[in-house]
Amino acid sequence: MAIADSMKLPTLGEKTLSAWDRTFRVTLALVGGYLLTAGYISFTSAGLPKLGMNAGEAAFFGLLTGLLIFVGFAVWVAATKFIARMAIASVLAIVLLNYTASLIVATGV
């Protein structure tokens, strides 16, 4: 039971969200989700060919799976109690994915 509880998605509880909070969450879900998906696609487009996959296949694989990630991310943004941490983590993830992709392309690693 304890393990199941800890794995539960943190939610909003009894808190009523202000208009600003909701607007921020919707914006983060759409814009942040888009940037995260784009970063993920860049990462797979750059990284999977290094594992032997055709570059075009890698791009479409990234796109198909990226859209699932986008939806999951948006749902998480809507439901989480810790929106500030979520926003910071999203920015870090976007930067990391894009940076890693460009590093792979630049160095050929």
Partner 1 sequence: MQITKEFRASMNWFHTWLGIALAGILFVIFWMGTLTVFHLEINKWMMPETRTVVEVDGPLDPIVMPTIESMDLQPESSLFISPANERQSLVRLVKFGGGAPFEEYYLHPETGEVVERTDTLGATGFFYPFHYSLHVSWMGLGYWIVGLAAMAMLILVVSGVFIHRKIIQDFFTFRPKKAARRSTLDLHNMTAMIALPFHVLFPLSGILIFALIYFPNAMTTGYGGDRSALIKDTVGFFTPEVVGEPGTLPESLDSFVERAEAIWEDRDGLPARVDGVRISNAGDAGSIVMVQHAFPPRTVAMSQGNIAFSAATGEIVNDFVPRPVHNTSAWLEGAHFIRFDSWAVRWLFFFGGLAGSAMIATGMLFWMRARIRKGMEPVSVRVVRALTIGTTTGIMVSSAVFLLANRALAPDAAALGLTRAYLEVLAFFAVWIAMFIHAGVRDKRAWVDQCWAMAGVCVLAVALNWATTGGHVINTLVEGQWAVTGVDLTLLAAAACAVYAALHLRSVQANDPEMIRARRETSASEVPAE
The footprint of partner 1 (CB under 8 A) covers 4, 7-9, 11-14, 17, 22, 25-26, 29-30, 33-34, 37-39, 41-42, 45-46, 48-49, 54-64, 67, 70-71, 74-75, 78-79, 101, 105
Which two structure tokens, joined as six digits, stand for 49?
Answer: 């060919």
Cα separation, 67 vs 40, in Å, equals 10
CB count in 10 Å sphere of residue 7 = 7
Provide, rounded to whole angstroms, the least separation between the CB of residue 89 and partner 1. Answer: 18
Q: Reduced to 3 states, what is the DSSP secondary structure of residue 37? A: helix
Task: Please identify, using beta-carbon distances, which residue of 46 and 90 lies nearer to partner 1.
Answer: 46
